[in-house]
Chains A and B, each alone.
Chain A
Amino acid sequence: MIIIGEKINGAIPSVAKAIAEKDAGFIRNLAKAQAEAGANFIDVCASVENNLELETMKWLIDLVQEVTDTPIAIDSPHAHICVEAMKFCKKPGIINSVSGEGDKIEVVFPVIADTQWECVALLCDDTGIPKTSEKRMEVFGEIMKKAKAYNIAPSRLHIDPLVEMLCTSEDGINMVVDVIKDIKAQYPAIHVTGGLSNISFNLPARKLVNQAFIVLAMNAGMDSGIIAPTNQDLMGMIYATEALLGKDDYCMEYIGAYRDELFGQKK
């Protein structure tokens, strides 16, 4: 499982406060804690006004890189900001994100074409988030056509099938499961990712829903996730699920992560 650490995001009130007050220590600590908890990438999202976004991005990325070598996931709804912020990164990371919407792909794909940068692609387009799995697969098809045109290998893409609230869904996560399975069947090397917390919006005891979701989504083929790596219950669940899915010989990864105190230790 590829873990994209989600905690440095200006949409989170404590982070917004740290950004406003230029509290460098707070950001450094978040970066360090996530790296130590096993994050493969550290997501950086400014969530500030447009005219401040790029400089805030730079400030955040610099702070993260002061304390860890873990690559960055540049998280912005603006494709041009993503591309600009690549310059601040010491090593290739992930662009988070493009989609079928507007000219995002045309802005990002040419820039990352001949690099090792990876990219998150959401299955929505100018019409919004498609309601059916067929429609989402159509968006996926378009994205893959462009990826091929720019010579971006499937293994560099993280497809987000867009997980919506469970509480208003008519059929649980069946539709998303179908999409994940279909994507993996077409491109075994591609990554399927997702933000975890959307699933449990407006439900009590959200952690349980999130954990149950990760197990089922991994079973369908999700192998990347934008999550809080410091959440030990969730990380333990991920390691346990990988072992149960036969992706962990002799459970050595599970045991190793336990030994590294990533989960299951008395706090």
Chain B
Amino acid sequence: MSKMEEVKAMLEAGKAKLVPGLVQEALDEGNDAQSILKAMIESMGVVGDKFSAGEVFIPEMLMAAKGMAKGVVVLKPLLAGGSTAYLGTCIIGTVEGDLHDIGKNLVAMMIESAGFEVVDLGVDVSAAKFIEAIKANNNVTLVALSGLLTTTMPALKTSVEAIKASGLTGFKVIVGGAPITPEFAATTGADGFAPDAGSAAVKAAELVG
């Protein structure tokens, strides 16, 4: 097995601690940072798909994402401009009136491992705050809004509408959360929807890439 394959295998197995060492070994073998990153992003896609298919558990996906993050630390100095955000910046947050963050945090990790720079605004984020963050950050290509309560579903809709009406462009909007159905997501005017964190990362890359 080549070092590159080992990186992929260990990442997919959630052996987070082993990834940075293997990434270094893959570099020493002569692989360039760019292709190692690409391989890791591919592996994260595999893990995300497995999660969506119910083949792996949340912690296994989480550990893969952690491994990815640790591997990226090794690559960062070698990548153009020290940035790993191939797909640009993603602004993420839970909408106003909603304090849930477990699912949102998971999505943030997965989106980051798909190749985005993630700016996490936390919970109870107003539409105005989302818009402010889109203005304040460079190269925003994705805005991700999470809502976990049936009572905050309307806030999801008004937030997407406000962001779309702000006149700002260059990004796609994605929504998700436990009670959100594809049908409801469509009524919000969002560009995309994902039922879980694994597919959120895949969807994000698809929308922007």
A residues contacting B by CB (< 8 A) are 250-252, 255
Contact = CB atoms under 8 A, between A and B. Distances in A.
A149 B44 CA distance: 54
Which 5 pairs between the two chains have the least Cβ-Cβ distance? Answer: A250-B59, A251-B59, A255-B57, A252-B59, A250-B62
Contacts of A255: 57, 59-60
B39 to A, nearest CB: 23
Contacts of A252: 14, 59-60, 63
A146 B128 CA distance: 71
A93 to B, nearest CB: 28
Contacts of B14: 252
Interface residues of B, number: 6
A252 B60 CA distance: 7
A251 to B, nearest CB: 5
Nearest to A248: B59
A255 B63 CA distance: 12
A250 B15 CA distance: 12
Contacts of B59: 250-252, 255
Contacts of B60: 252, 255
A252 B62 CA distance: 10
Contacts of A251: 57, 59
B84 to A, nearest CB: 24
6 contacts: A250-B59, A250-B63, A251-B57, A252-B59, A252-B60, A255-B59
Contacts of B63: 250, 252
A146 B49 CA distance: 58
Given A251-B57, A252-B59, A252-B63, 7 more contacts: A250-B59, A250-B62, A250-B63, A251-B59, A252-B14, A252-B60, A255-B60
Interface string B47-77: 0000000000101101100000000000000
A232 B57 CA distance: 21
A251 B59 CA distance: 7
A250 B63 CA distance: 8
Nearest to B60: A255
A164 B63 CA distance: 42
Nearest to A254: B59
A263 to B, nearest CB: 15
Contacts of B62: 250
Interface string B1-37: 0000000000000100000000000000000000000
A250 B62 CA distance: 8
A185 B57 CA distance: 36
A39 B145 CA distance: 47
Contacts of B57: 251, 255
A30 to B, nearest CB: 31
A243 to B, nearest CB: 10
Contacts of A250: 59, 62-63
A223 B61 CA distance: 29
A250 B14 CA distance: 11
Nearest to B13: A256
Nearest to B57: A255
A56 to B, nearest CB: 42
A250 B60 CA distance: 8
B15 to A, nearest CB: 9
B119 to A, nearest CB: 25
B104 to A, nearest CB: 18
Interface in B107-148: none
